[in-house]
Amino acid sequence: RSKELLDIQRSLEGSIVSYPREMPMAVKRARGAIVEDVDGNRFIDFFSGAGVLNVGHCNDYVLKYVKRQQEDLIHMLDFPTVNKIELIQKILHQLPAELRSEFKVSFCGPTGSDAVEAAIKLAKHKTGREGVIAFHGSYHGMTSGALSATSLVKLREKLRSNMPNVSFVPYSYCYRCPFKKTADNCQLDCAEYLRYVLENPHSGMAKPAAILLEPIQGEGGTVIPKEGFLEKIVNIARENDIVVIFDEIQCGFFRTGDFWAFRESNVFPDIITMSKGLGGIGFPISAIIYNKQVESWGAGDHIGTFRGNQVSIAAGNGAFDFVREYNVAEHTREMGAYMLSRLHELLAFSPAVGDIRGKGLFIGVEYVKDKKSKAPDPAIVRTIRKMCFAKGLVFEIGGHYNNVVRFLPPLIVNRELIDNALAIFEEVNRTVTN
């Protein structure tokens, strides 16, 4: 039945169909971290709908908020509601007390890309400048502005003339340092390179409106920057009067065990983008959280029919309350540490595993042809995903070279489910390297 529906989908939706190509299932229902297809096969979902379902599929606690809201009000543009003010306050409450009155929250359209567009636009309004600096390995979305700041050339080349002016600089990717340094012998040369291009009149780069980056890269392969990188980027931006945007769309909403992935750094950006987990159990929503200093637009400058759907907002409120009531942030840190250490143990035998990294339940395993050359091995990753799928485990793949297995389980997973998932993963890894 799955095959039949997949064929029908292909014939009706055409070649734009993406995820089901690699994970061929037609889905019937899902709960927590388990997805069931129309044939009754059950899968452990360590993908979470691309990092959306942080509180788990169809979480009952959140569903109550959704059902209650559906009875009262679903769509009312950007009019104030108690529901909405509550969510804004919960977001602001994540800031240190002294900063709460410095920041504002605006809902954008339903997708992450909408928040990125709004953030870039706000930075342009504020500075009167055009360009954006983004990073190698970045992913910010598929709309024109967000895509222009997404580094994969293949995705952008046919649209190039339509897109704003973006320059790309190195991210702090210590496993593949472009300066051939190691994490313990560098002076954050990647961030210094940014300073160099900004401050050298011959770099060819006009001063941009914004510097846009993910505090931990998601699609780029779960790349965790070296300590101090975010601080340095923000300082360089401040010295040069450039707006800093942190894209927390994937790494935010408790994915790393903190509400925001950048929270351990000692700096705050001017604008934060959020989406995905903010809609609780998959309701579309996005927002920007921004310092009053960058507020530079007036009524009507950034409108939109679906800025803050009330059901999505209710789901966000439910997710926040669920996380607080069940201490999900701490659970995420605990489960993340457990999963990471198990991965290190189970994959120690493998000559193909070059790097294992993670923060909270944001975990990546990078595959190489051999550990010395570090030549990326995207083929083995595709094979591993296919074989894991056949055994009932789904996850994302990504990376600068598409050679990283990316685990994004719902944050509510327990040890038993992690053990079951990793048993499949280990078995497949042993098979492919034999």
Residues that bind ligand PMP (CB under 6 A): 50, 111-113, 116, 139-141, 214, 218-219, 247, 249-250, 275
When the beta carbons of 141 and 354 are compared against ligand PMP, the nearer one is 141
In the complex, the smallest distance separating the C-beta of residue 219 from ligand PMP, rounded to whole angstroms, is 6
Cα 191 from chain centroid (whole Å): 21
Per-residue b/e over 105-132, b at no fewer than 16 CB within 10 Å? bbbbbbbbbbbbbbbbbbbbbbbebebb
In the complex, the smallest distance separating the C-beta of residue 144 from ligand PMP, rounded to whole angstroms, is 12
Return d(Cα 231, Cα 237) in angstroms, integer: 10
Return d(Cα 225, Cα 214) in angstroms, integer: 10
Residue 360 DSSP class: T
In the complex, the smallest distance separating the C-beta of residue 97 from ligand PMP, rounded to whole angstroms, is 28
When the beta carbons of 127 and 250 are compared against ligand PMP, the nearer one is 250
Return d(Cα 281, Cα 318) in angstroms, integer: 9
When the beta carbons of 249 and 346 are compared against ligand PMP, the nearer one is 249
Residue 151's closest CA among 133, 173, 131?
A: 133
Please give the torsion angle defined by the CA atoms of residues 330, 335, 340 and 345, in that order, rounded to the nearest 10 degrees. 140
- Environment class of residue 433 by beta-carbon count within 10 Å: exposed (0-12), middle (13-18) or buried (19+)? middle
Residues constituting the chain: 434
Return d(Cα 395, Cα 362) in angstroms, integer: 12
When the beta carbons of 94 and 113 are compared against ligand PMP, the nearer one is 113
Sheet holding 27-31, edge to edge: 27-31, 34-37, 42-46, 393-398, 404-407, 362-367, 353-359
Q: Which residue is nearest to ligand PMP (CB)?
A: 112
Give me 264's structure tokens: 């351990």
Residue 238 DSSP class: H
List all residues 6 or more positions away from 83 whose beta carbon is below 8 Å from its beta carbon: 69, 73, 310, 313, 314, 317
Three-class secondary structure of residue 104 per DSSP: strand
When the beta carbons of 249 and 347 are compared against ligand PMP, the nearer one is 249
When the beta carbons of 218 and 376 are compared against ligand PMP, the nearer one is 218
Return d(Cα 316, Cα 274) in angstroms, integer: 11
When the beta carbons of 147 and 209 are compared against ligand PMP, the nearer one is 147
Looking up tokens 């160099």 gives: 196
When the beta carbons of 48 and 429 are compared against ligand PMP, the nearer one is 48
When the beta carbons of 195 and 306 are compared against ligand PMP, the nearer one is 306
Return d(Cα 13, Cα 94) in angstroms, integer: 41
When the beta carbons of 37 and 247 are compared against ligand PMP, the nearer one is 247
When the beta carbons of 120 and 353 are compared against ligand PMP, the nearer one is 120
Residue 233's closest CA among 279, 180, 280, 270?
A: 270
Q: Are 340 and 355 in contact (CB under 8 A)?
A: no
- Amino acid type, 408: L
In the complex, the smallest distance separating the C-beta of residue 230 from ligand PMP, rounded to whole angstroms, is 15
